[in-house]
Amino acid sequence: MEQMNGLVESVQESAAEHELWSPHDTIVVAVSGGPDSVALLRVLHDISLNRMPLTLICAHVNHGFRPESPDEAEFVRSIAEELGLVFELGVFDIPAYIKESGLGPEGAAREKRYQFLIETAHRYGARSVALAHHADDQVETVLMRMLRGSGLSGLAGMRWKRTEKKVELIRPFLRINKTTLVDFCQKQGYAYVVDASNLLTKYKRNAVRLEILPFLEGYNGRVRQSLLQLAEIAGAEDDFMEVTTAKYFEELVSKVHGKYTFDRASFAAIPFALQRRLIKLILNYLSADSSVADFPKIEAVRRGTLQDYPTTWSLDLGVGLTCVRQYDTILFSSKPSQRQASYTYRLSLPHPRLRLDEIGKVMTMAVLERESFFVKGEDSGKMSAWFDSDELVFPLTIRSRLPGDTIKVMGLNGSKKVKDIYIDDKIPSSERSVIPLVCDGLGNIVWIPGVRRSMHAAVGRHTTSVLLLSLQELDESVRQP
């Protein structure tokens, strides 16, 4: 009884520190039948009876790997019946799933196991799934991630709790050693099963446990404790960095139509460590595939952002994502379609309003008497333009840009390529495709909205009638009365 109380006290202390559960929570307990999970079920059951009202669901997964798997399932069922708990069994053919998914044995088993546990939690309205990972598992996890190559988040190892599909995965045993749990079961007389596959070094985790850690202990007898301390320190610092990164995300990053952008100068002003995390956070928002946020890709984006030249570039980040630098703006998005919108419309009275659905804009046209308008300065760079309606050749055409387009710009002797104007004005390539061109009846480009107007039909002192063209967002026009 004293040993039970000691283990319960330790678990309760960790649970309170990390807010693992509250009174009347429903918890799905993952029980494989080994000493770790048997101890977890027994301890949580004791807590639910004597310390805090909890509803427990005993869940077991038969992976179909070994002949003894059905017997182990019945063993766990018998424990649940002994304790008066609901029992849930998931049966999977993992060898078949390995062939289907292309995953390794450990990855395939883990995916199906977590899928079943989370679905069980949803069915019972459970707040969490309790997992029996202990301190030795944490040591192995941290070491495996070090060998693989990891940042601070990886060195934090397994977390006390994390949320997946609105269910918390909790690990109450992360500070308790395997030997303590085995000793607990043996002294309390709690039966458990031994999985012989845990001794096979063909599995990476087993190789770390059976070969690498004993080798390292030859150099440092406290290497396990050192790795646990590393996980604790890294976890706390990683949490702080995540909160700080989220704050910078809110301040610096804009999201429009599923695309994320930030200003290059603002990004350069934050510390390097947060630069990497900010890029990673954006990529994680865009894709659930963790491979997109690996260090080489993040560093390529970061360095390309900080370098003065080139001022425009595009990086393929894989899994359908791309990062584009457009002068002082960095843009992350799904890969754009290779086909640009192609359209041609005719604008003429008495239809003064034209929807341009391809680019989400609307063009309006109004004819004004000279006395009712006032022209202030140069029209270029504005979303409205004035023309002498008597000098303008109708009908007007609104179309998408074509290769080789040129415009006769006011104050310039001769024509200039539209492409060169876009480059000179540092207009991002992603924005160029949504700028329409207004042409007169002879095919001359008379206006590039927001960029330039041509020398054609300029308003002067002899103008008696003015044509006003305006371009605005389609949504804004819809809201107008």
Q: What are phi and psi of 381, to 5 degrees?
A: 85, 0
| Helical residues (DSSP H) of 51-104, grouped into ranges | 69-83, 94-101
Does residue 1 register a pLDDT over 90? no
Cα angle, residue 128 at apex, residues 122 and 130 outer, rounded to 5°: 125
Average pLDDT on 353-369 reads: 85
Tell me the two tokens of residue 140. Answer: 């192995």
List the domain boundaries for the chain: 2-231, 253-334, 344-479
Instruction: Kindly indicate the confidence band of residue 97, based on its pLDDT and cuts at 50, 70 and 90.
Output: confident
- pLDDT tens-place string over residues 129-182: 999 999 999 999 999 999 988 889 999 999 999 999 999 999 999 999 999 999
- Annotated binding-site residue numbers for ATP: 32-37
- pLDDT tens-place string over residues 286-331: 987 777 788 889 999 999 999 988 888 888 888 889 999 988 999 9
- pLDDT score at 477: 41
Average pLDDT over the chain reads 88
- pLDDT score at 479: 40
For 38, the 3-state DSSP assignment is helix
Does residue 475 register a pLDDT over 70? no
Q: Which range, 338-342, 367-371, 470-474, is most confident? A: 470-474
Is the backbone of residue 342 left (phi > 0), alpha (psi -120 to 50) or beta?
Answer: beta
Instruction: Kindly indicate the confidence band of residue 196, based on its pLDDT and cuts at 50, 70 and 90.
Output: low
CATH superfamily of 2-231: HUPs (3.40.50.620)
Taking the domain 253-334, which CATH number applies? 3.30.465.60
- pLDDT score at 198: 62
Average pLDDT on 42-51 reads: 96
Residue 140 amino acid letter: E
Taking the domain 344-479, which CATH number applies? 3.50.40.10
- pLDDT tens-place string over residues 408-453: 987 777 889 999 998 888 887 777 878 999 999 899 999 999 899 8
Cis peptide before 336 (omega within 30 of 0): no
pTM across the whole model: 0.68
CA distance 181 to 7: 9
CA distance 442 to 457: 13
- Annotated binding-site residue numbers: 32-37
CA distance 213 to 210: 7
Percent of the chain with pLDDT over 90: 55
Tell me the two tokens of residue 83. Answer: 């304790």
Percent of the chain with pLDDT over 70: 92
